Structure 1
Amino acid sequence: KRTKDCYIRRIVYILGSDRFLISLSYFFSAFPGSRSAFSIALNNNSAMVSYGPFSSDSIIKYKHVFINLGDGYNVETGIFTVPRSGVYSLSVTVYSSARVTLSNCVTLQVNGENVAEAIERSGQDLEDSTSVVVAVQLNAGDQLSARLLQGCSLSDDINHYNTFTGFLVTLGVCVFAQGCLGGPRTDPITSRVAFSFSLFSDENFKCYGPFSEMNKIVIYKNAFLNLGGAYNMNTGVFTVPFSGVYSLAVTIFSDAGSPGNMLAACANLQVNNKVMARAKEFNTNDQEDSATIVVAMHLKVGDMVTVTLSSGCYLCDESYYNTFSGFLLYVTE
C-alpha cells in the first residue's frame, strides 16, 4: 500500500509540473509490462555452420536466445512482433567465414520494407563482418525481421558472431491534451529525443567525398526518425536539447568498385568539433568494407554532435548502408 501511495503522490505532483510528459513516461517505464527487449544469435553449435546461400531472400531464424523480455520474438518464424508502440533501438551484426570468396548481406525490415542493410561482398576477402544500428519509431503489431538476401550466406558457431538485438527506448504515451478520453492516441512525447538517419534518400549508387578539407561534416539526408527535431538535415548537426546520457552509433560503408581498388572509408564522431571516436577501413584488397562504433556519452544542452570525414576519405552507398543514430537514455539536469 505504501508503494502504491507513493506512485499516486508522484502522479499528483507531476500533473502540476511542466515536466509532466517526461515524468509520466518514466513512471510507466517502471512497470515490467512496459519493458521489451530481445537479443538473439544465429545458433549455438560447437562447430562452424553455414546458413545459406538460398535461391531467394529469406527471413533469418535466429535460434539461440540471450533474452526475450516480453516474448516478442518467435524462434520458429524469426519475426519480432512489436508489443507496444514506441522508439526502438535495433542492431544487426553479420559474419561469414567462407574459406573462399564470400558474400554476407542482410536487410533489416519492418513490415516487409527495408529499414537498413548490413552488407559485406568481396572477391578476395575470406572472412568479414559488419554491423548496423538504427533507432526506429514502431507501432504495436509491426513485424520486424532480418532477411538474408539471395545468394548470400552467414557462418556461426558457439561464439555467436551473428546477432540481432532490439529494445524499447521510449514508450508512445497518450497525451491527455490531445483527446485520450475520446480514444487513446500514442503520440511520442516531445521531451524525448531520438534520431536515426541514412546518408542518401534513394537507392542509386553514389559517393560522398573525398574532400580536400579536414573534418568535412557528413550531412545525412534520409530520416528514419527525428523525434524532437534536434538533427538538422541542412547542416548535419545534432544539437543536444536536454542534458543527459546519450547512446550514439555510426556505421560507415564504402565500395571500391572492384577487388584490388583502394578503399578509404573513414569517419569521425565529434562533439563540439572535438573527435570522440573514429571508424575506419583502409584496404587495398577488399572491394567492400564497413565499420561501426557505438558509444554512450554525457552531453549537455547545446552541445553539437556531428559525423565528419577526414581528408581523402569517402562513403559510397546505394541502400541505407551508412547510418547515424542516437537517443537519450537518461536526463541528468
Structure 2
Amino acid sequence: MSEIIHKGLCRETFHYQMAYLQDFINKYPDKPKFSLTWMSYLAHNDQNALYHTDDYFYNFFNDNKEKFNNSFVLVMGDHGNRFGWLRKTSVGEIEDNNPFLFLSVPASLRRNTTYTDTLKQNAKKLMTHYDIYATLTEITNPSNPRTPEPLIKGSSLFHSLPQPRTCDRLRIPFEYCICKAKKQTLPKNNSIGIPGAKIMVARMNFNLQESSETAECRPLTLDLKSSITVDEFEEKGNVKVYQVTYSTLPGGGQFWGYLTQLSSNGTLNILSEKFPRLNAYGPQSGCASKAKFASYCFCKNLLKQQPSTTSIPKTSKKQPSKFSTTILPKKL
C-alpha cells in the first residue's frame, strides 16, 4: 500500500499523518479532543530508522509545547522487534513482548507529588494494554457516554495497581509473558525437538487450510537440516514446559512456540495459540498479507522461483489428532 500511494513522492508517509494531526490541533483550539496517530512504516523494518526523524519530532513537540502542557500524551508501540539479529538475543526476546510506552501528563498534575509518585511506582510494574484502556477511560470520563458501563479488564495507571500482577491474572498469554522463568537448553540429541516441532508444523498447516484467506499458501514441512533448539523450563507440579525453535520449508521460516508434557503419560501438547516468526516474511506472503496467519504463508506462485529438493506432502483438512491445546495451572 505504501508503494502504491507514496511512490515517487519526496516526503515519507508519516509527514502526511503529522500534517493532518497539526491541522486537527489548530482547527479546534478550545475544544477537548482526542487523536490516535499510528505510524506503521517509520521504523517497522529497521530499529535504526528513527534517528533521521529526531529533528522533525523535536520541532513538532516544541512548536506545540503550550498546547501539550494541558494534554495527556502517550507514545507507544504494539510490540517490539519481532525479527532480525536483535530478536535472537535475550534483550530482543524481552523487547518483543514489552513494547515502548511513554506518558506525559498535563503540567498542572506534575506538581502533585502524590499523583506523580503513583505513576513512578506503576511504571516499574507489569501492565497491559487493558490498563491503557482503563487509563484513557478515566481521562475522558464523558458525562453522556455511548457505552454507559464499558467492560474494563485493566486498571487505571493513576492509582495503585491491584496485586498480584501475574501474567495469568492480567490475561497475558503464556507465550507473551515477560516474567522470566528459569530454563535450560537441552542437548541437540534430545527427544523433544523433532517430534515437538513436527506437531507444531502440523498445527500451522491446519491453520493455513482452515481459512480461505490462506488458500494460496503452500503446505509446510519441518526443515530437518536446520537446527532445532529446545529450552526446558523449571518444572512446576507434574507439568513440563518446553520452548521449541525450528525452521520450515519452503521459504526458510524460523518459528518458536511452547509445548507442555504431562509426567503421567509423556504426551506433548501445544500451549501456544500462534507461533511467532523470527525472520521477515513479507515478500513470501503477498497472497495472504492480511490473513491472521500470514507469517506462516509461502505463496504457491513463488514456489517456481525457489529451488528445493524437499517434497511437500499433501495434508488432510482434518485437524491432526496428535496435538491439543493445554491450559497450564495458574501457579506456573
TMscore range, shorter length? under 0.3
Larger Rg: 2
Higher relative contact order (CA 8 A, sep 6+): 1
More helix by share: 2
TM-score, length-normalised on structure 2?
Answer: 0.25
More strand by share: 1
TM-score, length-normalised on structure 1?
Answer: 0.25
